[in-house]
Chain A
Amino acid sequence: MTQSLDISEKIKEVSIAEFFEKNRHLLGYENPSKSLFTVIKEFVDNSIDACIEANILPTIEVKLRKLDENRYRVRVIDNGPGINPKKLPIALGKFLVGSKFYRLRQSIGTQGIGAKGAILYSQLTTSKPAKIYTATINSKKIYYFELMIDVIKNEPKVIKYSEEENKDNWHGLDIEIEVEGKYTSKIEEYLKLIWLVNPFTKIVFEKDGEKIILDRVTNKLPKQPKEIKPHPYGIELGIFKRMLEITDKKTLLDFLVGEFSRISLITVIRVLKLSLRAEEIEIKDKELKVFDFLKKEFKQDYIIKKTLEETGLDENKKIIELNEQELRKLFLSYKILQYMFKDPKEISLQEAEKIFNTLQKVKIRAPPTDCLSPIDNKYLIDALKKLYPAEYYVAITRKPKVYRGFPFQVQVAIAYGLKELKKMEEEEIPSQSIILRFANHTPLLYNARDCAITKVLMSINWSHYGIQSGNSNLPADNMLILVDFISVWIPYKSEGKQAIAEYPEIIKELELSVQEALRKVYLYIYKKRKAELIKAKRNIFERYLPEVARSISILSNYDENEIRKKLEEIANKKLPEIEIEV
Chain B
Amino acid sequence: MAEYIKRVIEKLEILGKDLFEQINRGENPRMLIPARSLKNVIFDKKEFILRLGDKKIERDFFNLHKAKKFMQTLLVASFAKELLKENIHASLREAFYAMKRTLPNSNENTFDEQDESDSCIVDLEVTLDVLREQLHLNADTKGRVVGDVIIEDRGDVIDWSKLGSGGWAIPSNVEAIEFKKVEAEFVLVVEKNAAWERLHEDKFWKKHKCILLTTQGQAPRGARRLIQRLNQEFNLPVYVFTDSDPYGFYIYSVIKYGSINLAHISDRLGTKDAKFIGLTMTDIETYKLKNWTIKAKDVDIKRAYELLNYEWFKKKHWQREINKFIEKKYKAELESLAGRGLKFVTETYLPEKIKNEDFLD
A543-B104, A548-B61, A555-B15 known; A563 and B20 CB under 8 Å?
A: yes
Q: How far is the CB of A531 from chain B (nearest CB, A)?
A: 15
Q: Which of B26, B67, B110 contacts A573 (CB 8 A)?
A: B26
Q: How far is the CA of A334 from the CA of B71 in the complex (A)?
A: 99
Q: List residues 534-555 of chain A with CB under 8 A from any CB of chain B.
A: 537, 539-541, 543-544, 546-548, 550-555
Interchain Cβ contacts under 8 Å between A and B, 17 examples: A539-B106, A544-B67, A544-B68, A544-B71, A544-B103, A547-B110, A548-B61, A548-B70, A554-B82, A555-B12, A555-B13, A555-B19, A558-B20, A566-B26, A567-B23, A570-B26, A571-B62
Q: How far is the CB of B295 from chain A (nearest CB, A)?
A: 50
B37-71 contact mask (Cβ, 8 Å, vs A): 1 or 0? 00000000000000000000000011010011011
Q: Which residue of B has the minimal Cβ distance to A536?
A: B64
Q: Which of B16, B19, B105 contacts A543 (CB 8 A)?
A: B105
Inter-subunit contact A556/B13 (CB<8 Å):
yes
Q: How far is the CA of A551 from the CA of B28 in the complex (A)?
A: 16
Q: How far is the CA of A198 from the CA of B70 in the complex (A)?
A: 59
Q: How far is the CA of A563 from the CA of B26 in the complex (A)?
A: 11
Inter-subunit contact B78/A555 (CB<8 Å):
yes
| 5 interchain residue pairs of minimum CB distance | A555-B16, A556-B16, A551-B74, A554-B78, A551-B78
Q: Which residue of A has the minimal Cβ distance to B85?
A: A554
Most buried by B among A547, A555, A569, A574: A555
Chain A contacts for B67, CB-based, 8 A: 540-541, 544
Chain B contacts for A138, CB-based, 8 A: none
Q: How far is the CB of B83 from chain A (nearest CB, A)?
A: 11
Q: Which of B16, B64, B82 contacts A552 (CB 8 A)?
A: B16
B78-97 contact mask (Cβ, 8 Å, vs A): 1 or 0? 10011000000000000000
Q: Which of A540, A544, A556, A574 contacts B17 (CB 8 A)?
A: A556
B165 at the interface (CB under 8 A from A): no
Q: How far is the CA of A548 from the CA of B81 in the complex (A)?
A: 15
B108 at the interface (CB under 8 A from A): yes
A557 at the interface (CB under 8 A from B): yes
Chain A contacts for B23, CB-based, 8 A: 552, 563, 566-567, 570
Q: How far is the CB of B18 from chain A (nearest CB, A)?
A: 8
A544-B61, A544-B67, A544-B68 known; A566 and B78 CB under 8 Å?
A: no
Chain A contacts for B15, CB-based, 8 A: 555
Q: How far is the CA of A309 from the CA of B29 in the complex (A)?
A: 88
Q: How far is the CA of A436 from the CA of B16 in the complex (A)?
A: 61
Inter-subunit contact B103/A547 (CB<8 Å):
yes
Q: How far is the CA of A556 from the CA of B9 in the complex (A)?
A: 10
Chain B contacts for A548, CB-based, 8 A: 29, 61, 70-71, 74
List 16 additional contacts besides A551-B78, A554-B82, A556-B16; criterion CB under 8 Å: A539-B106, A543-B105, A544-B70, A544-B71, A552-B16, A552-B19, A555-B74, A555-B77, A555-B78, A556-B19, A556-B20, A563-B20, A566-B24, A567-B23, A567-B61, A569-B26
Inter-subunit contact A540/B13 (CB<8 Å):
no
Q: How far is the CB of B76 from chain A (nearest CB, A)?
A: 9
B99-111 contact mask (Cβ, 8 Å, vs A): 1 or 0? 0000111101010
B75 at the interface (CB under 8 A from A): yes
B27 at the interface (CB under 8 A from A): yes
Q: How far is the CB of A40 from chain B (nearest CB, A)?
A: 52
Inter-subunit contact A574/B62 (CB<8 Å):
yes
Q: How far is the CB of B207 from chain A (nearest CB, A)?
A: 54
A540-B67, A544-B67 known; A552 and B20 CB under 8 Å?
A: yes
Q: How far is the CB of A250 from chain B (nearest CB, A)?
A: 82
A543-B106, A548-B61, A551-B74 known; A557 and B26 CB under 8 Å?
A: no
Q: List residues 2-39 of chain B with CB under 8 A from any CB of chain A.
A: 12-13, 15-17, 19-20, 23-24, 26-29
